Copies of this chain bind each other. A is one copy, B any other.
Amino acid sequence: MKKMSIKEVASALQISTATVSYILNGKAKEKRISPELTKKVTAFIEENNFRPNHLAKSLRTGKTNVIGLIVEDIADPFFASVAGHIENVAYENGYKIIYSSTKNDPKKAKELIDTFRDRNVDGYIITPTEGIDSEIKYLIDSKLPVVLFDRNCNDLDVSYVGMNNFESSYQAAKYLISQDYKNIAFVTLDSVQPQMIDRLLGYERAIYENRLVSYVKKVEYRAAKEHLIMAEIEHMLNTEPHIDAIFFATNYLAITGIELLNRLGVKIGEELGMMVFDDNDLFRIHQPSISAIAQPIQEMSQQLINDLLEHMQDTNEYTNRTTVLPAHLIIRDSSSKTRKNA
């Protein structure tokens, strides 16, 4: 029951492997192979369940039909969701996906790019870490299809898909201001990632435009433990008691923050407004519900995989495309002093 080779098919049918190969690849007509023979071969292949060896094919053609997906962490629901959407489309187009998580470690990111390169993946979807511009540039220079997402590398001519962090942050902050919050704090990570910086700047723009004061709390990035985050937020609330709203730059920070506030008995919405980046079941169901900026995951994924497929189709004519999608601002109860269900 071992695997059959094209040679065996050929010899069983007393024809050459070339003929079988042409038929397999739909070039029967082009190569003027008689319909009868074509039918005979097709039938034989079907009957004996012959499957060409993918490795041999890849070795010869240089195509693996594999897409390399490099994300910060596949276990993160955001990236997992993107992985799911991408897979659907990739699957329909005959591609499989091989993934790896950088854990935001540039060294690992570089290794991953190398490994994927060694394995001849046909295209790359990458969430870049800091300091891997040169590796990405190398891929591009080698004419390999690459699409970045979530974070861009500004200095590179490469396709990118992301969301409008600056604009959505600005709009969200403006909304809080419109709801009469006067001292809005922004809790973020101490990170230089462009998307994080944009979120901060969007907030600050809204603050400055309205002649308000900005309160920015940067939580240390690496292995930020929950209780440390809580301690920092608590400290901030104690030293700046006039703060009347918090805008969290990430999901995780917000969840930790909510836990703290619940424990402190602070009434979210009434006493303290809240806005969060990245939506989540929790924010919808929490009482009061929490307003959030939802990333357009579906749209981003679609764009990502479309761009990549297109790029893989015609490597030469393809021109890079930067897509910045609008986020969805979801207004719930936490961003108004008068709660609907209060």
Q: Scan residues 16-72 of chain A and give those whose CB is less than 8 A from a CB of chain B.
A: 51, 53-56, 58-59, 64, 66
Provide the bound-state CA to CA distance between A51 and B79, in Å.
30
For residue A9, give the distance in angstroms from its CB to the closest CB of chain B.
16
Given known pairs A80-B77, A98-B98, A119-B54, the reply for A262 and B281 (CB within 8 Å) is no
Whether B84 lies near A74 (C-beta < 8 A) is: yes
Does A101 count as interface, using CB distance less than 8 angstroms? Answer: yes
Q: How many residues of A contact B (CB 8 A)?
A: 47
Provide the bound-state CA to CA distance between A259 and B289, in Å.
11
Of B64, B85, B97, B255, which one neighbours A281 at CB under 8 angstroms? B255
Does A89 count as interface, using CB distance less than 8 angstroms? Answer: no
Of B87, B255, B287, which one neighbours A74 at CB under 8 angstroms? B87
Does A115 count as interface, using CB distance less than 8 angstroms? Answer: yes
Does A175 count as interface, using CB distance less than 8 angstroms? Answer: no
In the complex, what residues of B have CB within 8 A of residue A282's CB?
A: 280-282, 285-286
Given known pairs A55-B55, A66-B98, A285-B258, the reply for A80 and B75 (CB within 8 Å) is yes
For residue A91, give the distance in angstroms from its CB to the closest CB of chain B.
7
Whether B66 lies near A59 (C-beta < 8 A) is: no
In the complex, what residues of B have CB within 8 A of residue A76's CB?
A: 80
Does A83 count as interface, using CB distance less than 8 angstroms? Answer: yes
Copies of this chain: 2
Given known pairs A55-B59, A59-B53, A281-B282, the reply for A99 and B97 (CB within 8 Å) is yes
Of B97, B262, B281, which one neighbours A287 at CB under 8 angstroms? B262
Does A317 count as interface, using CB distance less than 8 angstroms? Answer: no
Whether B55 lies near A64 (C-beta < 8 A) is: yes
Provide the bound-state CA to CA distance between A91 and B73, in Å.
13
Provide the bound-state CA to CA distance between A75 and B297, in Å.
11
Q: Scan residues 270-288 of chain A and give those whose CB is less than 8 A from a CB of chain B.
A: 280-282, 284-287
Q: Mark A120-161, 1 if CB is under 8 A from B, else 0.
A: 100000000000000000000110000000000000000000
Does A81 count as interface, using CB distance less than 8 angstroms? Answer: yes
Whether B99 lies near A99 (C-beta < 8 A) is: yes
In the complex, what residues of B have CB within 8 A of residue A205's CB?
A: none
For residue A248, give the distance in angstroms from its CB to the closest CB of chain B.
14
For residue A268, give the distance in angstroms from its CB to the closest CB of chain B.
11
Please name the residue on chain B nearest to A66 by beta carbon.
Answer: B98
Given known pairs A55-B58, A75-B85, A87-B100, the reply for A259 and B284 (CB within 8 Å) is yes
5 contacts between A and B (CB under 8 A): A55-B59, A75-B81, A96-B115, A98-B98, A262-B285
